[in-house]
Chains A and B, each alone.
Chain A
């Protein structure tokens, strides 16, 4: 089977209708999003998954939101939402937000400054287990100055202060202040949330479906589609087949073979966009069974470099994604504001790893060609998450390539929970990790920072620790000039790439499948659903039965 480049195929597609109007006309049908993952939990303080973010951001509005250029630094890139305007204090350690007077909760109550305070309190309650808590450590407190004025105080000045504030979603204090500590998840509110966003929750069958209905009198105007429904199929093949069979309208991320298959279904439009996820093989700097000790093999940078050199990532990526992924350059994706495409990766080299490993004494060979030193084989155990088909496949290819270099990679494939436990416990030699980035560099801090500062290193599975890297990132964040910030971060990227903290594998270029009867606005790569309210039906395309306006309110 000769395979035409999928990218070429996508380029041949008609360009998206540019439609940048933020509001669509009322009655723009029903959008059914097919997904394999349940959105739960989907309240802004506790959401974790991408679908959870999607639902929470349709149900709730933030104070401010990052704009289309996705620049998280300073304030130029932000657009108002619940906060109509904001003002910096003279020392830049506080921002005062003035709420939109028209903003209402879905139950009709006005959004007040106390709701902002409640939003932070819910994040800060440890028993709620908010993953946002580590992202907003630079916020000191939030004060309700008056009903419509909330002031956010920060511990320190940083380039991402406003971004931090955008993560605190106001929550309805009149419904939530009476909750006991840690009671958010089990509250009646979690079952029937009252939000401030363009959609309200109509129906929820956990793990099966979730239906959102348009808020007619939303302060930002009525959203387009009457209903947005999530239909959840545990088997992705079934979920995608639903889109082919017109039972659903959207699948967010098609695997490459399905991109080819999509051409058989004329009602499906393919939407390629920039990805925000990247995948890497992190080396464990600490011994798998004793995190206090250095890893006997991988603590040596020469070994890490050799292992990196031994991998033909270009070939691996083509095998996995055809042309629908880029080799990863470092701990960032190309769509990020700080991306640096000039970084030279450690090149694929068949001879260099052999030289390095020989010089380190791995000269013996087993019958299968695995290197030996003092009679012990050069064996690494890779922790691989079973739910990620891509990473499992990547692991098999890496295993094969490393085998050729005389390295025996044992694939330890585990289901999500066991994978998480082993990864957090540092019980591995290498881990096939992934990270969904955001426009900000917080991910960089938590994934690769040393953990010396609050909110840093929480996600650092391999326990990479570099004082230079840490200080470069810190310097960058401390600057008020976005350009300076970006330069410092880019310098940090070079440090970590040179250190070979991980093998930077790939950043996929996702392709979404969307039913053709919708006219789409620009696809926001980091959060495509943000423009969902402005989708509308193509008047030329035949509508489906489900697009009829719902009779019940």
Chain B
């Protein structure tokens, strides 16, 4: 078990290294440079450009920059973000909590809604309501995610005034407990917009798994033992969690793409925006640092999902 875990972590490290070096190279190959700041404003002379690039070593060949970057990272230094005028580490520290909050709440919300709902739908697959919910779930999945988010901004936030338009807290709003509530208030719509498609997928997967499981022999055994409907359902659910947990592992990688759109629309001060803007601004160290953190998060999340998968299905002995 421990060896498998270590091997898994080793694989994770390889994945992270591959992701970071790919992004590192890709963004440096894209035209434009970090010191090009504004669309039409006075442009710098070639000499100024060269001086700036040289000051940060961007005039060196990419492999050399990469080796330097690796050395830098090894010594805990992530570089300087040009587009945000702050150290990359500070930028990540400032945006990571917001994104973690958003993703965590959205994930909990998604699976908290999706799994019970899907389990119910699967157990009562013949119920007309279950079929109706399934239809709704497919529609939610089919609607482009940004439209859902925009609708949330237009409807509940702007037209009905129930929620703030964007951002993470009210400018000069309350502090302390009130501040916390304020954050929750701001969080509600983006988290929901991020969670809905995931919840729909989770519900459909859970529904299918539950539907397949409910007639399994071991569920019959639960009844034959003297278990009631609840116990049977519990036994079925325990075994039917596997596909949903597999999905949860992949979901995290997808969620990073999702937050890019959601954070943009809701002006949420998180890493999705940081990465998006970093790419647009050709902020090399920021993108590399952001991708590093994002891939660490993804790898850890996948690992977590795998552990949960082992729990749900002990037959998956080896951590693949």
Contacts and interface: CB of A to CB of B under 8 A. Distances in A.
Given A233-B166, A417-B282, A239 B39 contact: no
Given A233-B166, A418-B32, A241 B158 contact: yes
Given A133-B45, A232-B267, A235-B267, A434 B39 contact: yes
A147 interface: no
A422 B273 CA distance: 25
Contact of A40 (B85, B153, B168, B267): B85
Contacts of A238: 153, 165-166, 265-267
Interface stretch (B48-56, B133-141, B205-213, B251-259): B48-56
Interface in B30-53: 30-33, 35-45, 47-52
Q: SS class of chain B's interface: helix, strand, loop or mixed?
A: loop
Interface string A404-422: 0000000000011111111
B281 interface: yes
A234 B264 contact: yes
A510 to B, nearest CB: 15
A166 to B, nearest CB: 15
B164 A245 contact: yes
Interface string A119-146: 0000000110111111100000000000
Interface string A209-237: 10000000000000000010101111101
A525 to B, nearest CB: 17
Contacts of B167: 208-209, 231, 233, 242, 247
Interface string A458-495: 11000000000000000000000000000000000000
B157 interface: yes
A182 interface: yes
Q: SS class of chain A's interface: helix, strand, loop or mixed?
A: mixed
B36 A421 contact: yes
B91 to A, nearest CB: 7
B161 interface: yes
A434 B40 contact: yes
Contact of A418 (B30, B83, B166): B30
A461 B161 CA distance: 46
Contacts of A385: 39
Contacts of A191: 85-86
Interface residues of B, number: 58
A446 interface: yes
Number of chain A interface residues as a range: 35 or more
B45 A458 contact: yes
A32 interface: yes
Contacts of A232: 267
Given A127-B51, A207-B277, A417-B281, A40 B45 contact: no
Contacts of B173: 546
A32 B36 contact: no
A436 interface: yes
A185 interface: yes
A441 to B, nearest CB: 14
Nearest to A231: B171
Given A244-B158, A420-B36, A205 B41 contact: no
Contacts of B44: 129-131, 133-134
A173 interface: no
Contacts of A182: 51-52, 55
Of B91, B157, B267, the most chain A CB neighbours within 10 A belong to B267
B86 A247 contact: no
B269 interface: yes
B269 A208 contact: yes
A222 B274 CA distance: 36
Interface string B93-110: 010000000000000000
A247 B170 contact: yes
A206 B91 contact: yes
Contacts of A131: 41-44
A40 B42 contact: no
A186 interface: yes
B267 A233 contact: yes
A253 to B, nearest CB: 14
Contacts of A419: 39
B69 interface: no
A417 B158 contact: no
B147 to A, nearest CB: 13
A262 B85 CA distance: 35
Contacts of B269: 205, 207-208
Nearest to A446: B42
Interface of A: 30, 32, 38, 40-41, 48-49, 52, 126-127, 129-135, 182, 185-186, 190-191, 205-209, 227, 229, 231-235, 237-239, 241-242, 244-245, 247-248, 277, 385, 387-388, 415-422, 424, 433-436, 446, 458-459, 545-546, 550
Interface of B: 30-33, 35-45, 47-52, 54-55, 80-86, 91, 94, 150, 153, 157-158, 161, 164-168, 170-173, 264-267, 269, 273-274, 276-277, 280-282
Q: State the 3 A-B residue pairs at the shortest beta-carbon distance, nearest first.
A: A417-B32, A206-B84, A126-B51
